[in-house]
Amino acid sequence: MSKPLNAVTFGEPMAMFYANEAGPLHEATSFSKALAGAESNVATGLSRLEHKTGYVTKLGEDNFGQFIALALEKEGIDTKSITYTKEFPTGMLIKSKVLAGDPKVEYFRKNSAASKLSLADFNEEYFASAGHLHVTSISSALSKTCHEFSLHAMEFMKKSGKTVSLDPNLRPTLWPDKETMVSTINDLATRCDWFLPGLGEGKILTGLDTPEDIAGYYLDRGVSLVVIKLGPEGAYYKTSGGEEGYVDGFKVEKVVDTVGAGDGFAVGVISALLEQLPIGEAVKRGNAIGALAVMSPGDMDGLPTRDGLEKFMNASV
């Protein structure tokens, strides 16, 4: 039997090369290497907060695959359900360094090993050992087989009485068109318990403008909790039981890199809910880790340990 996990997630981790000097990406001459990927960010964040977390993916039998597996293991993430293939390579990306705004990111992930994840890779015992499943829509955008895996994993966990969270993580360039993206993600949302969109994402997905209306759209479709990220202003939440509220954001001294902020927010909300904290406190923790993320250069550099999180939140009171 698999050892019990607090949470499990799946997706495509990538080797990331990020420029060491600011400027156009094509002019960069020096890069550093790190682990990247929305789901691996969340797994890392949960693990640093002492939640036993498993990560499921498929990697190429190459140097990038070895690097990713070791990076995940160093974070204390369970990698026993990772599979490997000689046929397809591990995905990678390169990212620019900016002094303000969002960095330029270029992906090399078409026909990657992770995009070949399929139902044949689904280990029922492994998923059943976890109390919670976190999903992003990125997996469904990678391939038909990844989408089938996503649907099956969500349905399996729901039927097993586990909780499921979904971060839409919109990546328009990965989808054939906007209509397919919107319809697929909205279908995924009906299969989760906790939905975590940004306000801009919610507007694209529903055509509605206010946090209250966007939350209502998903609550009417069976979601039990909707938390909408509002950037520096914080977040809004509403439950199927009618509990709702706005939670202020934390002061950010300087925005260094916005990539990974949403994943940090998810880490905060999910970890707190798994600890059975009140929803308002969970959203507050999400805001705190999101703030730490944007003040740090890498995708996961700002993800705190439990001690670091407490210090930041106490200092911000």
Q: Please give the positions annotated as active site.
A: 263
- Residues 151 and 158: beta-carbon distance below 8 Å: no
Tokens representing residue 169 in the block: 């993580």
Is 205:174 a contact under the CB 8 Å cutoff? no
- Name the pairing type of β-strands 235-239 and 7-10: unpaired
Q: Find out whether 91 and 84 touch, Cβ atoms under 8 Å.
A: no
Q: Which of 172, 175, 173, 103 is nearest to 146 (CA)?
A: 175
Contact 280, 57 (CB under 8 A): no
Q: Which residue has the tokens 């160093």?
A: 74
User: Of 305, 255, 310, whose CA–CA distance to 284 is shortest?
Assistant: 310
What b-and-e string marks burial along 122-156, b requiring 16 or more CB atoms within 10 Å of the CB?
beeebbbbbbbbbbbbbbbbbbebbbebbbebbeb
Residue of 57, 13, 63 lying closest to 35 (CA atoms): 13
How many angstroms separate the CA atoms of 143 and 147, rounded? Answer: 6
| 299 Cβ contact list (under 8 Å, min separation 6) | 16, 34, 35, 36, 37, 41, 257, 259, 260, 263
Distance CA 138, CA 85 (A): 21
Maximum CA pair distance of the chain?
A: 54
